[in-house]
C-alpha cells in the first residue's frame, strides 16, 4: 500500500494505492490522524484502492468520529466498485460524505 499527502488550498488530499487490510490499515490510520491534526479539511481519495476490509472501514470511522470531535471535515471521493461494495456490505455509506471527484470533494469542504 502506498500513501501520499498533498495540499489543495485548505484541504489536505490523502491518496492511497493498493490493498487496505489488517496488515496495512495501521499505516493508513497513522497518516490520516496525523494529517487531520495539520489541516481543517481532509479528503481521502479511494480511487486507487483495490481492496479494503473491515479494519480499513473501522479506521475510516475512527477518523470520521475524531474529525467531528475536532470540528473538522473528513470526506471521501473516488470510490471504486470494489470499495463501494464493502461500504454497502458494512452499511456505512450513509455516515460518510462521499463525492465522485476531487473537485467536488474540495468544493464541498
**Contact residues: another protein, CB under 8 A:** 19, 21-24, 51, 53-55, 57-58, 61-62, 64-65, 81-82, 85-86, 89-92, 95
> C-beta of 14: minimal distance to another protein in Å?
19
Residue 17 has a CB neighbour count (10 Å cut-off) of 13
Nearer Cβ to another protein (58/98): 58
CB burial of 37-71 (b: ≥16 within 10 Å; e: otherwise) equals eebebbbbbbeebeebbebbbebbeebbeebeeee
> C-beta of 72: minimal distance to another protein in Å?
17
Amino acid at each position: 500500500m502506498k500513501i501520499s499527502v498533498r495540499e489543495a488550498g485548505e484541504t489536505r488530499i490523502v491518496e492511497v494505492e493498493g490493498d487496505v487490510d489488517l496488515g496495512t490499515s495501521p499505516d493508513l490510520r497513522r497518516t490520516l490522524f496525523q494529517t487531520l491534526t495539520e489541516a481543517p479539511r481532509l479528503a481521502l481519495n479511494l480511487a486507487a484502492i483495490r481492496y479494503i476490509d473491515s479494519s480499513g472501514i473501522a479506521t475510516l470511522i475512527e477518523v470520521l468520529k475524531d474529525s467531528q470531535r475536532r470540528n473538522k471535515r473528513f470526506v471521501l471521493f473516488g470510490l471504486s466498485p470494489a470499495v463501494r461494495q464493502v461500504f454497502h456490505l458494512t452499511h456505512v455509506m450513509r455516515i460518510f460524505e462521499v463525492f465522485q471527484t476531487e473537485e467536488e470533494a474540495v468544493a464541498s469542504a
